[in-house]
Amino acid sequence: MSSRDLLSFRLNGHPVDVPCPSPRVLLDLLREDLRLTGTKRGCDLGTCGCCTVLVDGRPTLSCLTLARLVDGRSVETIEGVSPPRGLNPVQAAFVAHGATQCGFCTPGFVVTATALLRSNPRPSRAEIERAISGNLCRCTGYLKIIEAIESAARTEG
Amino acid sequence: MSSPEPGPYRLLGGRIPYVEGPLKVTGRAEYTDDIQRPGMLVGRLLRSPWPHARLVSVDVRAARALPGVLAVLTGDRYPTPFGVLPITHDETAIAVGKARYIGDIVAAVAATDELTAEKALSLVRFKVEPLPEYSDPRSGLSKVAEPIHARGLLGSNIQKEVVQHFGDVDAAFARAAVTVRVRGRFAGVTHAFTEPMATVAEATPDGRLTVWSATQVPHYLHRTLSEVLEIPMHRIRVIKPEVGGGFGGKSDPLPHEIVCAALALETGRPVKILFDREDVFYTNHGRHPTQNDVRIAADADGTFLGYDIEALIDGGAWSSFGTVTTYYNGVLAMGPYRVPNFRYKGQRVYTTKPPSGAMRAHGGTNLRYSIELALDALAEKLGVDPFDLRERNALPPNSTTINQFRITSTSFVKCLTAVRERSGWDAKFRRLPYGRGVGLGCGFYISGSNSPIHFTPKMPQSTVHLKVDMDGGIAVHSMQADIGQGSNTLLAAIVAEVLGVDLERVHVQRVDSDVSPVDLGSYSSRVTFMMGNAAREAAESLRDRLVAAAARTLGEPAGSLEVGHERIAVRGRPDRFVTFLDALHAAMETSGALTASGSYRSPTLGGTFKGARAGTAPAYSFAAYVAEVDVDVETGAYRIPRLWAAFDCGRALNRLAVEGQIEGSIHMGLGQVMGESMNYRSSRLLNPSLLEYKIPMPQQMPKVEILLVGDDDPEGPFGAKEAGEGPLIATLPAVGNALYDAVGVRFHELPITPDRVLRGLDLRAAEHRPWKGA
């Protein structure tokens, strides 16, 4: 493998160098190569949001992102969003409000909501709905997810 | 939200966060695709591009010769037919002799990596003879040139025909003062769970096979693997990791699960098959495309005299649950109203399309839409309020329907009363301005199918085992399948409630057929009722032994003791107690670790006529919903700003979960009524992706007010009944009837897309039928 195929970026706060052939997408790099399986594969087509990660703080569909594009940037996954012990306020609110059911979409929602509250600590309901509109959930009808995010915003604020 | 009244229980009846929540919000919950085994191969499936074709010959030599390919399988290797219902085994793991729809599995490979596997599939060469395509069920009603299955009725493509007649429907219609008719047409819809199907299989040198799979029904998978692979069940171990949603779509034993196991047996190495979204859509098993014809007769005061129902159900390529579907599309008309005369003819017809099967509120949804629209029309014809009409005809508690369904608890009238009041119905119905309206829709559903789907009906439908050792942790084993609905949480809560201990003491173990006693899994809305009763029995057995030990320690009669707060105390004397741990250790002195078992058997129900068991259940849930719509009459777009949902699930044991089931059901119901549709050109599915098959967005969800009004069910665990499927049904007709109130058009065809709304408005204008000032 040539040095061109070595990818350097910050992953969950730590610098990493990983071999990466050109066509690899970020989701495969995370799940298959780095075994960070908290990021979920729901469609591989950018339609469901289960694979959402943060690239330089912005929610990004890792299934549609060529891994090479994160070279020199910062990637945060659900594993990075989670504190070493316990839960972050968004996660705690998701648990308390029953915002998880099957849980498969949950990491994507938690990552998206965490990014939202970092940039907008007091979002309106419409802003929350807009922020999560790229994430599909088939179990909850979104209502408890929205409640949880509103509650986390109150707690953090 | 209706404020919960304080109940008699410490945990049950409250809001209990899901026990696996912390794992799910951190991405630490393990789903099937997260499983990695050493040396694991990639399994891939070749799907038929032909809607119907005879497989004359196949050449796999080039595929087998490709470096990195370890196995190539075609249908002849494991040809034993299977299917979820033992009476309709018409599927095979891989197509044998014929391909029956675009998407049918015709070959499979195991290779070291995905690209090699894909390359190998491209090298498989088939010689085929095209056969006639049957995409319209009407084309299969009589003898056809090439039946899709040999078992089609009299050379046709009819998979199942049901004819039932109770009372005298013709006489009822002859003496009726009013009759109404709705001819419903329903596009097929699919579950659209977020986790694609996935299976991992590993055959080990000790002669055993382990299969991890995203399944709702591990036990039927276990049986099917044994039958098709011809390996005794005790040498197969089925493990259910977390499952990312099912809604019925993961309840059949599916071909890829068998193929994955077969590839593992062939190669001696672990194999994973992971579906992409197209695989999921082609596997389908969603709600059947259906046409129904519902006629209802009533006398002048609005008492129902009879129902006359027909249904034509597009089954797709396999039977799946279709025999049940065919019955349900008739017999689930038997509530929530008294029906004195009833006739039904239902036909489910094979077509060369992806198989339909069981989807949330299976068999009751399309039928109920047509009935409730008909009742709205009936109320209008009679000049009575839709609520009054329904209340007049409500099934009473402790009654029997004409087809011998046993109705025990029903709080249906309470549902009507509550939702009428909370929705402000009397001030809104026919009084809102043109374009806005309210509609009432009702429903009922089985709280668990009374009959198991296998040929050993005398065995319990659910068994729960408990084990507690000196650490005081309570391990709970059961094959009930939590697919997100919260059954693990309920199981833990019931055990903790009965034993009077903290919830965190109770650890529900992952489903593993080596250690989990059989429970039939998550379908037919059976888990709370059946598993709940089994869990209660097991926990009570354990509690009695702890109480006996405490009685010895305290020198008090066991009957004077009560459990709670991690103690066993003398009733009325809280200072005289032993702790749970002390009682446990005392009880263990004779036996070591304590184990206990509980089980649930359904009662004997139903008549003796053919098909009498279909739709029998130990209890039924009831619902009455009001939806409010706001239609943009220029574009046909509409939204549902508010929805009031009154539901009778008996006692709600975990309000958080019950609300979650109702809200999710409303979302799914709104999807079907407002836009979801599997679109076909002939037999070809046109929209096998979540981009083109659109489920509702957060912005489309109404403000939902949930009214839980159920009284305790006499046989349900702690009075509970189901809340997993019934809450979907009433959503659809509530919207359909609200649209009529808003714009004066009854939409008989789902989904009601904006273009259909506009067409309806045009038709009404052409007929010069003004509506509420339009």
Is residue B215 within 8 Å of B257, Cβ to Cβ?
yes
pTM of the entire predicted model: 0.98
CB atoms within 10 A of CB B209: 20
Burial class of A61 by CB neighbour count within 10 A (0 to 12, 13 to 18, 19+) = buried
Task: Supply the DSSP symbol for B32.
Answer: G
- Best A52, A64, A100 residue to mutate vs chain B (most B CBs within 10 Å): A100
How many helices, marked H, and strands, marked E, lie in chain B?
Answer: 19, 32
pLDDT above 90 (res B12): yes
B190-224 tens-digit pLDDT: 999 999 999 999 999 999 999 999 999 999 999 99
Is residue B462 within 8 Å of B218, Cβ to Cβ?
no
Q: What mean pLDDT, rounded, does chain B reach?
A: 97
Is residue B459 within 8 Å of B600, Cβ to Cβ?
no
Q: Kindly report the nearest CA distance between residue A27 and chain B, in angstroms.
A: 13
B703-708 vs B638-648, strand pairing mode? parallel
Determine contact: A124 vs chain B, CB below 8 A. no
Which two three-digit tokens encode residue B15? 């809001």
Is residue B177 within 8 Å of B333, Cβ to Cβ?
no
A44-83 tens-digit pLDDT: 999 999 999 999 999 999 999 999 999 999 999 999 999 9
Contact across the interface for B660 and A101, Cβ inside 8 Å: yes
Domains of chain A: 3-80 (3.10.20.30), 89-156 (1.10.150.120)
B732-773 tens-digit pLDDT: 999 999 999 999 999 999 999 999 999 999 999 999 999 987
- The pLDDT value recorded for residue B6 is 61
Residue of chain A nearest B22, judged by CA positions: A95
Is residue A43 within 8 Å of A63, Cβ to Cβ?
yes
B271-274 vs B41-47, strand pairing mode? parallel
Contact across the interface for B656 and A100, Cβ inside 8 Å: no
B342-352 tens-digit pLDDT: 999 999 999 99
Report the alpha-carbon distance of residue B482 to residue B521 in Å, rounded.
Answer: 8
Q: pLDDT higher for A157 or B511?
A: B511
List alpha helices for B604-704, DSSP H: 655-674
Determine contact: A57 vs chain B, CB below 8 A. no
B634-666 tens-digit pLDDT: 999 999 999 999 999 999 999 999 999 999 999
Which two three-digit tokens encode residue A123? 């979002």
pLDDT above 90 (res B682): yes
- The pLDDT value recorded for residue B438 is 98
Determine contact: B693 vs chain A, CB below 8 A. no
Of A107, A133, A144, the CB nearest to B699: A133
Q: Kindly report the nearest CA distance between residue B17 and chain A, in angstroms.
A: 6
Q: Which residues of B touch A50 (CB under 8 A)?
A: 194
B536-548 tens-digit pLDDT: 999 999 999 999 9
Residue of chain A nearest B277, judged by CA positions: A43
Burial class of B709 by CB neighbour count within 10 A (0 to 12, 13 to 18, 19+) = buried
- The pLDDT value recorded for residue B32 is 98
Q: Percent of chain B having pLDDT more than 90?
A: 97
Q: Which residues of B touch A100 (CB under 8 A)?
A: 18, 21, 24-25, 484
Band of pLDDT at residue B121, cut at 50, 70 and 90:
very high
Q: CATH fold of B21-28+452-600, please? A: Aldehyde Oxidoreductase; domain 4 (3.30.365)
- The pLDDT value recorded for residue A4 is 63
Determine contact: A94 vs chain B, CB below 8 A. yes
> What type of residue is B120?
A
- The pLDDT value recorded for residue B153 is 78
pLDDT above 60 (res B3): no
Question: Residue B564: beta bridge partners?
Answer: B567
Give the three-class secondary structure for B113.
Answer: coil
- Alpha carbon dihedral B527, B530, B531, B533, in 10-degree steps, equals 140
Determine contact: A25 vs chain B, CB below 8 A. no
Return the half-sphere exposure (C-beta side, CA atoms, 13 A cut-off) of residue B463. Answer: 11
- Best B35, B112, B113, B194 residue to mutate vs chain A (most A CBs within 10 Å): B194
- The pLDDT value recorded for residue B759 is 98
Report the alpha-carbon distance of residue A152 to residue B708 in Å, rounded.
Answer: 27
Q: Which residues of chain A have pLDDT under 70?
A: 1-4, 156-157
Q: What is the mean pLDDT of residues B72-98?
A: 97
Of B22, B195, B689, the CB nearest to A102: B195
Report the alpha-carbon distance of residue B150 to residue B155 in Å, rounded.
Answer: 7
Strand ranges in B334-410 using DSSP code E only, listed in sequence order: 342-350, 399-400, 406-407
Report the alpha-carbon distance of residue B505 to residue B487 in Å, rounded.
Answer: 17
Contact across the interface for A106 and B17, Cβ inside 8 Å: no
Contact across the interface for A94 and B25, Cβ inside 8 Å: yes
Determine contact: A112 vs chain B, CB below 8 A. no
Band of pLDDT at residue B2, cut at 50, 70 and 90:
very low
B463-502 tens-digit pLDDT: 999 999 999 999 999 999 999 999 999 999 999 999 999 9
- The pLDDT value recorded for residue B1 is 43
Burial class of B231 by CB neighbour count within 10 A (0 to 12, 13 to 18, 19+) = middle
Interface A–B counts its CB contacts (< 8 A) at: 171
Q: Kindly report the nearest CA distance between residue B204 and chain A, in angstroms.
A: 24
Task: Supply the DSSP symbol for B546.
Answer: H
Give the three-class secondary structure for B47.
Answer: strand
Contact across the interface for B701 and A43, Cβ inside 8 Å: no
Determine contact: A105 vs chain B, CB below 8 A. yes
Contact across the interface for A40 and B31, Cβ inside 8 Å: yes
Q: Percent of chain B having pLDDT more than 70?
A: 99
- The pLDDT value recorded for residue B457 is 67
Contact across the interface for A101 and B245, Cβ inside 8 Å: yes
Q: Which residues of B touch A103 (CB under 8 A)?
A: 20-21, 23-25, 29, 242, 244, 484
B56-72 tens-digit pLDDT: 999 999 999 999 999 99
CB atoms within 10 A of CB B753: 17
Determine contact: B274 vs chain A, CB below 8 A. yes
